[in-house]
């Protein structure tokens, strides 16, 4: 993936929820339509997808799906944090609109 600079994080992101959606939208933008096979014989799905949906409780919600590759050795490491096992899916940067306030 493109290197992330903390200065690219828009300053008005002040909750974990906003951070999660911003990160997912940035990765979706950078992945630029990358597809993965999720179920054998079931076709392909976007590697990262963020969409707005109204759920059964009549609430507008962001629905986030990400299929990120994992380094199995790093995942089983006794010294690394779990999230450090995530492998890159792209070397592209997200759209500039996601990197500003």
pLDDT digits (tens, 9 = 90+) for 30-59: 999 999 999 998 889 999 999 999 999 999
Q: Is there a contact between 91 and 2 (Cβ–Cβ < 8 Å)?
A: yes
CA pair distance 98, 101, nearest whole angstrom: 8
What pTM, to 2 d.p., does this model score? 0.87
- Indicate if the alpha-carbon torsion angle 51, 41, 38, 91 is positive or negative: negative
Q: What average pLDDT score do residues 78-90 get?
A: 93
Is residue 37 classed exposed, middle or buried when 0-12, 13-18 and 19+ CB atoms within 10 A define those classes? exposed
């Amino acid at each position: 993936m493109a290197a992330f600079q903390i200065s690219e994080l828009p300053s008005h992101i002040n909750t974990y929820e906003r951070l999660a959606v911003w990160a997912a939208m940035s990765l979706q933008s950078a992945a630029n339509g990358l597809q993965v096979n999720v179920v054998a014989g079931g076709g392909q799905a976007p590697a990262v997808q963020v969409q707005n949906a109204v759920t059964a409780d009549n609430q507008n919600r962001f629905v986030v799906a990400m299929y990120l590759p994992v380094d199995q050795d790093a995942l089983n490491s006794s010294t690394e944090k779990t999230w450090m096992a995530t492998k890159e899916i792209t070397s592209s940067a997200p759209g500039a609109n996601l990197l500003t306030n």
